[in-house]
A and B are shown apart, each in its own frame.
Chain A
Amino acid sequence: MSEPVIFERSQPGRRGVALPPLDVPEAPPLPAEFRRDDLPLPEVSELDVVRHYVRLSQLNFAIDSVFYPLGSCTMKYNPKVHEDAARLRGFQQIHPLQPAETVQGALELMFRLQEALGEISGLPAVSLQPAAGAQGELTGILMIRALHRDRGETGRRVVLVPESAHGTNPATAAMAGFTVKPVRADRAGNVDLDHLRSLLGPDVAAMMLTQPSTLGLFDPNIEEIAAQVHASGALLYGDGANLNAILGKVKPGESGFDVIHINLHKTFTTPHGGGGPGAGPVCASPALAPYLPDPVVGERDGQYVYLHPPKSIGKVRAFHGHFGMFVRAYTYIRSLGADGLREVSEHAVLNANYVRSRLQDLYELPYDRICMHEVVFSGSRQKQQHGIRTLDIAKRLIDYGYHPPTIYFPLVVDEALMIEPTETESKETLDGFIEAMRAIAAEAATDPELLKAAPTTTPVGRLDEAQAARRPDLRWQP
């Protein structure tokens, strides 16, 4: 059953692709000090390669085959028209350093996407450059740092991050040279305003806030939080990982955020199979516009041009960003329009609350209130009563044909089970999943060993992660 690595299929002399013969005179050989001798790559036929990777693909769960309610990752359906758009020759076969006048269509697309993201976020200064959400965070935090320095406020060395935040938030703040201080949540899961007040001071550069939070909750005190942060001279950074919950329902800029990043691959559905690529544009207030990464796209007399923000933080990667992802996100935004985008968020929230309502009698709901696009349960009841861990519940779901939710995140919830259905799933699909979750809750009581042994329907069972980490085997050896 198990598929050997491609290197093990190698047979000396076999070829996968024929290349044309050299049609120019041969050059003198490269000096030996620069030349490589051995190139130990596999020798396989095209059919070998095709069968091998088709077989590998068949070992995966994917949105196109199963329900995939992986919380925080927003595994919604990726419309197929996006792929046709992104694969147009006019987008695939253009070089990032071509003269601007030869890529007007590409620049117009980028300009219009900047405009649309600025409108959706309420933060009009937009850079598409960051490669993913975490790089967008770094970009935004570096812009905040630059603004403070310009104002002579170099004493602002601290960034506040709620305990429930994605790990990228504190890691980003540290990479930008800041010290991180955690902010506690109150009993309802909102920012503890008293604790926030006690932390704010002349040493704080920014607060990073995910809204809605990683608990799937919209913090109703957002205006008060923003007011406090601003009164202390700090800025409010928004982690836009959960923007898909609030499209057209609230603009982050209007609720007090100074800069946010957007995970295009989540909210605007670009494929990120195997964990990437992402795309992490940042949207900022006019005050931060001079610090945007270089370049951004502007319009001048009907021509689209590169603009160089005067106090730019520089570049966070080569060229302009993940253009292929821009084409998909732009196609999505133009397909949906304002009404369609609002419907996306409304139904994402409807679906999550439906799952919440139908499971909260069997699974512990640490924050018993209306949620946004995702609902976070705790497996604590199953652990206490039956010795069943959230991991067991997740693995058992695989045997029912579902990709498990995100587990053990956020860290502030014991035995967390984070379910994000997304708006593209029908009521029937949710009902099927809910029935599976209910059946598993029953099995936890009647047949706990079944859960502990799961999954049994997959090519491999639970893998020994301790061995993988203790004796790392990270590559094939010739």
Chain B
Amino acid sequence: MNIPEELGYTKEHEWVRFNDDGTVTMGITEFATDQLGDVVYVDLPPVGTTVRQFEKFGEIESVKAVSELFSGISGEVVEVNEKLGDQPELVNSDPYGEGWMLRVRPSNPAERDNLLSAADYGALTA
């Protein structure tokens, strides 16, 4: 199972990437996509929405399941992956790349410490 070393993780299987411009990018892990199966729909909040760490920001549907999406960090949504509207399958094919979901400007960068490391997340899903 691919768990990139440089990312932070939530217990609910979201990953968080800290970008050079101070924003963070979020998506769900390969483990999560494996559990869900073929993703058919991703419901994401509009740009400008305030999200809070470990609270629900959206929903993801596969053919026979639905799951809530939880934010890895608090802040304001500055970009949404519009491609997922037409191609939700990107979440399956490239969960850490083209399958990203939100870009957020964090309101409290210290929250980074609340996230799991790749090693901790790997242990959680082993």
Q: Contact residues of A with B, CB < 8 Å?
A: 408, 465-466, 469-470
Contact = CB atoms under 8 A, between A and B. Distances in A.
B64 A470 contact: no
Nearest to B37: A466
Contacts of A466: 38, 40, 62-63, 89
Contacts of B61: 469
B8 interface: no
B88 interface: yes
B54 interface: no
13 contacts: A408-B64, A465-B63, A466-B38, A466-B40, A466-B62, A466-B63, A466-B89, A469-B40, A469-B41, A470-B40, A470-B41, A470-B88, A470-B89
A202 to B, nearest CB: 29
Nearest to A464: B38
A418 to B, nearest CB: 16
Contacts of B40: 466, 469-470
Nearest to A466: B38
Contacts of B88: 470
Task: Identify the 5 closest CB pairs spanning chains A and B, nearest first.
Answer: A466-B38, A469-B40, A465-B63, A470-B40, A466-B63
Given A469-B40, A469-B41, 14 more contacts: A408-B64, A465-B38, A465-B63, A466-B38, A466-B40, A466-B62, A466-B63, A466-B89, A469-B61, A469-B63, A470-B40, A470-B41, A470-B88, A470-B89
A308 B56 CA distance: 46
B36 to A, nearest CB: 11
B102 to A, nearest CB: 20
Interface in B25-62: 38, 40-41, 61-62
The number of chain B residues touching the other chain, given as a range, is: under 10
Contacts of A469: 40-41, 61, 63
A466 B40 CA distance: 6
A149 B88 CA distance: 46
Contacts of B63: 465-466, 469
A275 B8 CA distance: 47
Interface in B57-116: 61-64, 88-89
Q: Interface of chain A, helix or strand or loop or mixed?
A: helix
A466 B41 CA distance: 10
Nearest to A469: B40
A469 B64 CA distance: 10
Nearest to B64: A408
A469 B62 CA distance: 9
Nearest to B38: A466
A471 to B, nearest CB: 8
A408 B37 CA distance: 14
Contacts of B41: 469-470
B23 to A, nearest CB: 29
A469 B36 CA distance: 14
A258 B71 CA distance: 44
Nearest to B63: A465
A280 B87 CA distance: 41
Contacts of B62: 466
A408 B64 CA distance: 10
A389 to B, nearest CB: 11
A465 B64 CA distance: 9
A44 to B, nearest CB: 34
In this complex, the member of A408, A465, A469 whose beta carbon has the largest number of chain B beta carbons within 10 angstroms is A469
A168 to B, nearest CB: 16
A466 B61 CA distance: 10
A465 B62 CA distance: 10
Contacts of A408: 64
Contacts of B64: 408
Most buried by A among B41, B61, B63, B89: B63
A466 B64 CA distance: 10
B98 to A, nearest CB: 15
A327 to B, nearest CB: 37
A377 to B, nearest CB: 19
A176 B107 CA distance: 39
A469 B92 CA distance: 15
A469 B89 CA distance: 11
A466 B88 CA distance: 10
Contacts of A465: 38, 63
Nearest to B40: A469
B60 to A, nearest CB: 12
Nearest to A471: B86
A466 B90 CA distance: 13
Q: Looking at B40, B61, B62, B88, which has the most chain A CB atoms within 10 Å of its CB?
A: B40
Nearest to B87: A470
A470 B40 CA distance: 5
Nearest to B41: A469
B89 to A, nearest CB: 7
A466 B92 CA distance: 12
A469 B39 CA distance: 9
A381 B41 CA distance: 32
A465 B40 CA distance: 9
Nearest to A465: B63
B85 to A, nearest CB: 10
B96 to A, nearest CB: 21
Nearest to B89: A470
